[in-house]
Amino acid sequence: MRILTGNDLKTGAVIWWTGQDWSIHIEDAADVGDQAQADAVLATEDAACRVNGGYAIDAEKDDDGNLRPAHIKDRIRALGPTVRPDLTLNPADPDAGNWVI
């Protein structure tokens, strides 16, 4: 599946396209279909200054139904800093970094 990501223009936070809006949680991300649809959404959202540097990526759902980006860069973006588990989006899970690998 293809999902959209980028950074919030005002805050810089990593965000994911839900189909209606942007969320900081990758589990909210929606499949945007093909690249043409992705480009259309990104053009609209970029023009509205809601996203900075948006792009489409490949992702898949694992056995538990959790979204997992194909590239490690985006898995790190989805989780947060791997050197500081307390600053990730799963601060209570000391093994959250294993998800990236």
Partner 1 sequence: MYRYDQYDQAMVDARVEEFRDQTRRRIAGKMTDDQFKPLRLKNGLYLQLHAYMLRVAIPYGTFNSRQMRKLAHIARTYDRGYGHFTTRQNIQYNWIKLEQAPDILAELATVEMHAIQTSGESIRNISADHYAGAAADEIMDPRPWAETIRQMTTFHPEFSYLPRKFKIAVIASGAGRAPARGPVGARRVVKSGGGEMGFEV
Residues near partner 1, by CB under 8 A: 7, 9-14, 46-49, 52-53, 73, 76-77, 80-81, 87
How do beta strands 14-17 and 52-61 pair?
unpaired
CA–CA distance, 101 with 14 (Å, rounded to integer):
19
Please, which residue, 40 or 63, has the CB nearer to partner 1?
A: 40
Shortest gap between Cβ of 82 and partner 1 (angstroms)? Answer: 10
Residues 27/61, Cβ–Cβ less than 8 Å? no
Give the tokens for residue 98: 């294993």
Nearer to partner 1, 36 or 48 (CB): 48
**CB 79, CB 99: distance < 8 Å:** yes
Q: Which is nearer to partner 1, 51 or 67 (CB)?
A: 51
Q: What's the min distance (Å) between Cβ of 13 and partner 1? A: 6
